[in-house]
Every structure is written in C-alpha cells, then in structure tokens.
Structure 1
Amino acid sequence: MTSASPRDEFHTAWTADRRANAAYPKSRFVLRWFRSAQRWRATRGPLARLVFVVVGGSYKVVTEGFMGIELPVSTTVGPGLRLRHGVGVVINPSSRIGANVMIRQGVTLGNRKAADDCPIIEDDVELGVGAVVIGSVTVGRGARIGPNAVVFRDVPAGAAVLSPASEVRLPVD
C-alpha cells in the first residue's frame, strides 16, 4: 500500500477543514495557509524547500506575530480542525491533534517536564475557551474540556472535564 502524496494529504485535510469552518472565514484562511505550509514541508526537493521557507515563514510571522495563533506547521493535526476565533491559541509542536477537533480561543496544549512531554488529543474532542492541557496526557475520543479547565491527567473517551467552580456571593445588607 502506498502512502498519499503531500499534495493529496493537503487536499483531503483542507477539504475537511473548509467544511468544518464554513462560517468562519478567518479560520479558513489560517488553516489553508497552515495546510499549505505542511504540504511544502513534506514535499522533497530544492524548489519545495524554497517554497516552504516562503510559505512557512510568512505563515509563522503573520499568525504568531499578528494574529496570536501559535499552531506550528510541524504539529500533527487530523483533518476537520475547527478553529473558533483563534486568538491566544498556543500549541506545542510535539502535541498531536486528531480529526474533527474544536479549538476555541485561549487554548493551550503544552509540555510539562520535557520538550516532547505533550498531549495527544484524539478525534472529535472539543476544547473550551481558555482550556489548558499540559503534559503527556491523552484526551479520549469525543471528550469535552470545559472553559478554563486545566487538564494534567488522562481523560477517558466521551468524558467531560468541568472548569473550576464559580461561586456567586450575594451582597450583604
């Protein structure tokens, strides 16, 4: 069995990303650029390397420097990534993200001890606003991580992780 070419992988992933972000033009723009940079990074030859330097370099400068989205080209990301708003997203390059994952603004996927001590996010996971997933943990298929939740242990498939409780205090008369 032969593996798909970088061009075929680009088209498959981009088609799924485009469909998943139909109502989000900024997300479509960023993900198209991300997938293009990944394509050229995986393609061999001196021309491909030159194109990657231009596409990948401009992607990094604009998305990180101006848009506040750190989604490195070297990160393994499945098709159908849903990027909502995107601002403040920080993804460690050693993190792995499955298919049909939703990432909202302020999400961090990072290491805890070593540079490659990073999360694995399985398919169909939703990460709420400001969620932080740290260390070599696995977030199982279909799990939901609530807003501002901090995850540092494995999350089983289909589970929900709630954010810290909010306490409401009424004024004293």
Structure 2
Amino acid sequence: MDKLDNTKVSYNIFQDWKANSGSVSSKFVMVFYRIASWTRSKTILTILFFWYLIFYIVYIEWISGIQISLFAKIGKGFRIENGRGTSIDSEAEFGVNCTIRQLTIVGRKKLIDNTFSGAPKIGDNVDIGVNAIIIGNIQIGNNVVIGAGAVITKNVSDNSVMVGNPAKLLKKVYDFPAFEDSERKIDDEDTSVSLLDRV
C-alpha cells in the first residue's frame, strides 16, 4: 500500500486531478484535502494556517457533504464519483488508485465494551460501490471490487469481488488492472473506466 507522503503533496494533487478528470467538484475536494492534510502534518503549519483548516471543514463537510478526515491516509490517484454523504474516518487508510462513491462509510466499529475498533486499511486499486459500509479493524486487499450496498466487517483478500449484506465473495478476478473485450482495451492509464466495468 502506497501511503500518503505529505512531502509529495503536489505530486499527489496532480495524480488526483487526473483521476477525477470527469468531475470538477471531486478535483477540488481532493486538492483541498491534500493541502489541509499537509497543513495538519506540522504544528507550525497548523498554527499559521488554522484558518485554512476551518475553511476545509466548512467547505468539505458542510457544503460538499463529504466527510474526509484530515488524519486519514489516502494514496495518490484517489477518485470520488459523486461522493456526497460519504464519510472517511481519521484512522482509515487507502492505497493508490482507489475509487469511492456516494453514501459510503469507511470507519471504526463500536465494540461491546463501548470502545471503538481501529478503522479499515484498504489496498491499491480498490473500487467501492454506492452505499457500501466498510467498518472495523480490517484489511481490504489489492484489486478488490466492493459492490453497491455491501457491508464489509471482515478481511478481504486480493482480487475479490464482494457483494451483499453481510458481504460474500462473488468471484475472484485475476486480470487487474487490464481487461480486453471486443470493444476496447482498458490499460493502467485509463482512470476513467471503473473496475466494476472490468469484472
């Protein structure tokens, strides 16, 4: 998993911009997130740019309706497809080239003793469908597709397609990230095509 490196914030912004080429709002959400995350990474920057962090919370959470914690670790090429109603916890981690959609929750789970678990750690090239819920101290592998409305509370291995509530393995897919059919060939650089189209 390629975690966010705050020293390469401009590179991450460029990769996110490219991944969200079809959505102006998603581009700006990710730009604001990258800058806010970088600002929050050092005490002196937090003090100097506290006004920006307030702006981030107001714009992202109140106006755009997307809750992405400043402490979440998100790899480059993160794609948001209509992310309204989505919530990403402060302890969540994403690898590179992940896609998320609206009404999706990635967060901690409340335990029997009223404490909270850790948050999910999600691998590279993971495509998450609408209204998916991914909670708990779990690991999601690389090249995973999570279907719309799926509820994930257990670890998921690489190259899996998960559907349902509770989520079950639909099938294994081994041709990521390329797939060729009679109409087109999808390659690594074609971020406009969802992994859901490849299974």
C-alpha root-mean-square deviation of aligned residues, in Å? 1.7
Q: State the partner residue of 1:137.
A: 138
Structure of larger gyration radius: 1
| Equivalent position of 1:158 in the other structure | 159
Q: Aligned residues, how many?
A: 158
Structure-to-structure mapping, 1:34-113, within 5 angstroms:
34-43=33-42, 45=44, 48-112=45-109, 113=111
CA offsets, 1:107-147, max 9 Å, x none? 10111134452111101000000000010111100000000
- In the TM superposition, what is the alpha-carbon distance from 1:40 to its structure 2 partner? 1.4
TM-score (norm. length: structure 1)? 0.85
* Deviation of the 1:164 alpha carbon: 4.8
CA distance in 1, matches of 2:40, 2:103: 27
Q: 1:38: how far off?
A: 1.2
Could you tell me the TM-score, scaled by structure 2's length? 0.74
> Aligned runs of 1:2-41 on 2, under 5 Å?
6=6, 8-41=7-40
Tell me the SS of whatever aligns to 1:34: helix
The whole-number CA distance in structure 1 between the counterparts of 2:13 and 2:58 is 21
Aligned letter for 2:46? R
Task: Provide Cα deviations, 1:80-114, integer angstroms capped at 9, x if missing partner.
Answer: 10011110101111111111100011110111134
Q: For 1:41 and 1:140, how far apart are their aligned partners in 2?
A: 28
What amino acid maps onto 1:83 in structure 2?
I
- Residue ranges of structure 1 left out of the alignment (5+ in a row): 166-173
**Secondary structure at the counterpart of residue 14 of structure 1:** helix
Say yes or no: does 1:146 pair with 2:179.
Answer: no
AA of the residue aligned to 1:118: A
Q: Percent identity?
A: 27
Structure 2 residue ranges without an equivalent (≥5): 167-199
Mean CA deviation greater in 56-65 or 133-142: 56-65
Which piece of structure 1 moves more, 134-143 or 106-115? 106-115
**3-state SS of paired residue (1:123):** coil
CA contact (8 A) 1:94 1:116 kept: no
Structure 1 counterpart of 2:121, which letter?
Answer: I
- The alpha carbon displacement at 1:157 in A equals 0.4
> What amino acid is the match of 1:141?
N
